[in-house]
Structure 1
């Protein structure tokens, strides 16, 4: 006898089987939906494989486990934590929020979480798609994928970038199934923040994703990271194997995943350099799954026609460095030596002075953090926007300037602070010190403006809406950048001083 859904249930029939979801706050929600086969046992460190499907009705009312990752009880002093148990290697699931599982063909928003390639989950409440689905009449999908050593370790035998194969599998699943949830498979926006923004660009530029993505939202993409070649990645894999006490990845296939995650902790210490963002695991420019830098991939071929919204926060690097006592105590000499890595020894003192002048009262630590923000986020983002504008491709650019009140204001407008504003879901962020103490009127007004802009872009490819100043695309003559602060303002060339400073450095170093 067929199951008849109750008032708090909803059912969809897919090629892979029937799903029973829940009605939550007027939305139909489906959680823990498998989009690929469990990457366990012989499928560990293999590209994602199709899921075999299921018989009967599969319960989709509970989140699937998050990808295995390092976990610190009690969280951290900035986000309060970015990953919660349960964790399990069988993690290739996604969640769907929709106003109704009908044939309305609503625009689709796919969210890819960040987390430095080592943390996070599409099932975290902070990434709930409910606000976008309810406020924007969108179908929203969040994705879990392999991170840390299970997603990013590279080997000559098995290759790498398994995280990307997961995301491609999820995108194909969305294309093939989202109409059953009331979504339009021809109007898909993929959005991500930080490492998730790198993923978004890599997906959009991947040949196998051609025609699957219409728009992308890139929030704080660290395009300035030096993504390694296979040769450099093999050196990092060798260090990881040494920490894990194994001769090869094949020898680790029989081990339980907690051992593999535990060994990853030691790689932080092995790869950390003073004055650089720690990244023990990185995407690999392997010539196959990832043939070029994600920012370049998004600028070539069919991906060049994808509509783009990109931005960063004013003090990105404060997230990782403002509370670090080893950074706080740095002197001018040590920071100047670090600047020399970028500008050359001869130009480093002048660059230090330029950064110091741009922030009156700046300490050496402030100069260092502004440099890292420029290197990793702002300048690569500006160069990407400049290239798009030069090619006549529309791109909308923003900078998030509202500072955090936490830790006596030391965090500034730090990395991740724009997330609750874009999602419009501060009720899910009570655990995060980063957002504590923001004036409610300012906070809620700015959240309304940003949230509606993200919705407008996902629906139309243009972020403008009636409750904000006009936001023009970034052009070479205007360099329009929307400044999200207590007062929202469209400005020209907000990064001009840094842009000219870094352009001069590039010319000197290349001559």
Structure 2
């Protein structure tokens, strides 16, 4: 990796903006200056909901814990998000709001460490903003939606701080909280009633951004929504929304979207809700509204036990095809309607499923017969042939390796590839990548696992000190790849094109070249990188 002169210039320029324009520009449209209790000059913005006072952090104006919807508590639990009523006077926006209620284990796990930390509270519908200046510059906007298997994560995690993108790209960055687990994903049915409360939260947040981001120096007509895993699934689901007659966002970044999930129907979701009610000993939603949220979240552990299937990524709570908030597979929303005009950057990691299965000793002992039974779910009439194909693709593969590659393809790689194929066939803009750099952590068993690309995208390894899966990475290789990826993401957000000097030319994915960027120790534009797997499943090409 070589240093990028254009990137150094961008860093220098955005640094000047952050340090020089911030205070002088605060008197612009929708902004003011105020002295904080500590005597520092603090950024203040005037919004329809009321006045907000943020803080200056590292030369950026930062606003934390900003409510974008009414607290979903009491009678509003399991109701669609409603507008926030606003506040009198000046609201301090210098501390993050509580994260959405979720399971938490002190010390975390062997892969990410922690993914969402206390405090937790149902009153969690807040967002956070990083901007070089709350002025009238109309900067491109990035909205980040965190993942977490629909049960964990937070927009206030240090991992997802908007600092690097705002400073390095001269962007306005917004991160959001939304309802998780049972509070966001249970479905109760009823005539014309919708579910997907998580979706209504995210939609409310995007509407808030479109209506208010100009006051923070952002351009409401130049918004990119980005997310990873469950967050990337959300980005696709939001693509079909078009309130007020115009698209909510112009570009989409989907990192490891689990587009292979079988989204439950209303009937299937009601059955899952019945399982949850049985665990809690409640008969309906009215009784559940009287249950304290810690008990609701604790029941997630039993939901794992009741819903888990061998050889499948465990997801105790799932979105629902309710016909109200979501009536189609999210990938379809990026093919027709308002979603067809959105520029898309999509990709996956080479060994996605190693995240969930690579360190599991039970799966390490899996037999060929066990894995063949699972392969049969995907290839009913060609299980033996498919098993052999996966085995030959990885010399020395154990049964668990075949299983992990199959799950990676089922959930992530091939559905993402199918979306790229279908958009390309329609002449719609799409760029594809595969993250190939393996981590040496845990003896290499994780390889290029799910989530591994995140610190490279944000280029903020100092914020990931708690994450065991980064141990042992060569700093020179790590930092070089991070600089390349971070600059590509910034370029895409700013221009709709991920290319920048000096990386290799990254062409759009089309049906002739099938260009896919391999992100590794050496970044390479490859033709039909996943062709072996695509040909194994011909339906992907349709």
Scaled to the shorter chain, the TM-score interval is over 0.9
In the alignment, is the contact (CA less than 8 A) between 1:66 and 1:121 conserved in 2? yes
In the alignment, is the contact (CA less than 8 A) between 2:229 and 2:255 conserved in 1? yes
In the alignment, is the contact (CA less than 8 A) between 1:8 and 1:24 conserved in 2? no
Residue 308 of structure 1 corresponds to: 344
Residue 44 of structure 1 corresponds to: 77
In the alignment, is the contact (CA less than 8 A) between 1:421 and 1:447 conserved in 2? yes
Superimposed CA distance per residue, residues 252-285 of structure 1 (whole angstroms, 9 cap, x where no aligned partner): 1122110111112211111100000001111111
Distance 2:197 2:93 in 1: 25
Match of 1:92 among 120, 125, 132: 125
Residue 160 of structure 2 corresponds to: 127
Residue 407 of structure 2 corresponds to: 372
Q: Offset at 1:205?
A: 1.7
Residue 208 of structure 1 corresponds to: 243
Q: Offset at 1:162?
A: 0.4
Q: Offset at 1:7?
A: 2.9
Residue 174 of structure 1 corresponds to: 209
Task: Indicate yes or no: 2:281 matched with 1:245.
Answer: yes
Match of 1:335 among 359, 363, 371: 371
* TM-score, normalised with respect to structure 1: 0.97
Distance 2:537 2:114 in 1: 34
Following superposition of structure 1 onto structure 2, how do residues 276-425 of structure 1 map, counting pairs within 5 Å?
Answer: 276-344=312-380, 346-425=381-460
Distance 1:212 1:382 in 2: 25
Match of 1:111 among 141, 144, 147: 144
In the alignment, is the contact (CA less than 8 A) between 2:194 and 2:324 conserved in 1? no
* TM-score, normalised with respect to structure 2: 0.92
- 3-state secondary structure, aligned to 1:295: helix
Question: Larger deviation: 197-206 or 145-154?
Answer: 197-206
Task: Indicate yes or no: 2:527 matched with 1:495.
Answer: no
Distance 1:277 1:326 in 2: 14
Distance 2:392 2:488 in 1: 34
In the alignment, is the contact (CA less than 8 A) between 2:481 and 2:521 conserved in 1? yes
RMSD: 1.3
Task: Indicate yes or no: 2:66 matched with 1:33.
Answer: yes
- 3-state secondary structure, aligned to 1:33: strand
Distance 2:128 2:540 in 1: 45
Regions of 4+ moved over 2 Å: 2-8, 206-210, 504-507
Question: Larger deviation: 151-160 or 202-211?
Answer: 202-211
Match of 1:146 among 179, 196, 199: 179
Task: Indicate yes or no: 2:202 matched with 1:164.
Answer: no
* Alignment coverage as a number of residue pairs: 505
Distance 2:70 2:124 in 1: 9
Residue 88 of structure 2 corresponds to: 55
Distance 1:211 1:336 in 2: 45
In the alignment, is the contact (CA less than 8 A) between 1:206 and 1:290 conserved in 2? no
Residue 426 of structure 1 corresponds to: 461
Q: Offset at 1:506?
A: 10
Unaligned runs of 5+ in 1: none
Residue 21 of structure 1 corresponds to: 54
Residue 7 of structure 2 corresponds to: none
Q: Offset at 1:437?
A: 0.9
Task: Indicate yes or no: 2:505 matched with 1:477.
Answer: no
Distance 1:437 1:185 in 2: 41
